[in-house]
Amino acid sequence: MKNLRSIGAITLLVAALATPGQGQGTGTWMRAAPLMSSRTEVTGAEVGGRLYVIGGFGQGGDQVEAYDPRTDRWERRAPLPVPLHHAAAVAVGGRLYVVGGYSGGQWAVLDTVFEYDPGADRWRTRAPLPTARGALAAAVIDGRVYAAGGVGSARRNTDAFEVYDPGADRWESRAPMPVPRDHHAAGAVGGKLHVVGGRLDGSYARNLDAHHVYDPATNSWTARPPLPTPRSGVAAAVLGSRVFVFGGEAPTGTFGQVEVYDVSVSRWSALTPMPTPRHGLVAIPFEGRIHVLSGGPQPGGSYSAAHEVLSP
């Protein structure tokens, strides 16, 4: 009965949030069970039908929480080996990989790679990232992890672009990014990597609209139509041929914008904005919807346990 009541509560909130005049574009939002902790600058991914939110600022940088979309319930899982934030996470072969980031309150850039086994609820350390960096982005193509950009050890943007083979536990360098940046987002569509938005040298007063696509077959980058709203501290998720970009921050406040790039027509469009504008969030697709999780409602060090779900 508890599961049924939870699902019913979500359904009622669909109508409450999907109101006319909420913003331009299409798509409806609903609220789901909030995170167990209030955080920002998190990362995460889906594996085995669970959505994992990992690390960040706020209530514990080693926190790992897993959400079951079918029961609308959260549970805590084994914490990270070390507290971290501004990392990237992906799922490959039934495992989670958490790459790079900053350490706790030290803001030292990390080269760590941690692999999580959901069945054993256990973390282990893998081959380090060749270029230590935080505020990077990553995505998976053909079972390999592509790690793009970020802030390097000199506290400046790096154009580093490196690919990890989980089976061989080995990293290799690829063609550098055309525009070094941090606090950007990445998503893979049709065997190519889209890298979108971000900022220069950690300053959200220097937000970017840059959109570049990497082709592994040619080891080359191509510019694509820019993000309509320049922003950083964003999250991205992919459904089919579309790359969705959520949130962000600037000195004037946080962004609620949801803009989607359709690879099939090479065009951006706007969807209904997020009910809670925020940055430092994570967006995880699952069964045709996108769960938008955590993040700061104000620029800088603010936190939330927000969990809102977009039905495009």
Give residue-wise pLDDT tens across range 241-265.
999 999 999 999 999 999 999 999 9
pLDDT of res. 81: 97
Tokens representing 185 are 């987002």
Catalogue the long-range contacts made by 76-81 (C-beta closer than 8 Å, 24 or more residues apart). Answer: 76/36, 77/52, 77/116, 77/118, 77/121, 78/116, 78/121, 78/122, 78/123, 80/54, 80/55, 80/114, 80/123, 81/112, 81/114, 81/123, 81/125
- Whose tokens are 């990497």? That residue is 214
Which range (103-107, 180-184, 211-215, 306-310) has the least confidence?
103-107
pLDDT value of position 24: 57
Tokens of 299: 């620029």
Question: What's the angle, vertex CA 308, arms to CA 305 and CA 311, rounded to 5?
Answer: 165
DSSP letter for 8, please. H
Residue 178 to residues 4, 15, 162, 230, 271, Cα–Cα distance (Å): 50, 43, 14, 17, 28
* Residue 22, pLDDT above cutoff 50: no
Are the beta carbons of 37 and 31 closer than 8 angstroms?
A: no
What local confidence, expressed as pLDDT, does residue 171 receive?
A: 98
Set out the domains of the chain in order of their start, with CATH numbers.
2-13+24-311 (2.120.10.80)
The mean predicted confidence, pLDDT, of the chain is 92
Phi, psi dihedral angles at 17 (to 5 degrees):
-95, -25
Tokens linked to 106: 């030290």
Residues 38-88 have pLDDT tens digits of 999 999 999 999 999 999 999 879 999 999 999 999 999 999 999 999 999
- Averaged pLDDT for residues 273-302: 97
Tell me the two tokens of residue 73: 């319930």
The model carries a pTM of 0.93
Of 237, 280, 281, 289, nearest in space to 259 by CA? 237
List of residues 6+ apart from 48 with CB closer than 8 A: 94, 118
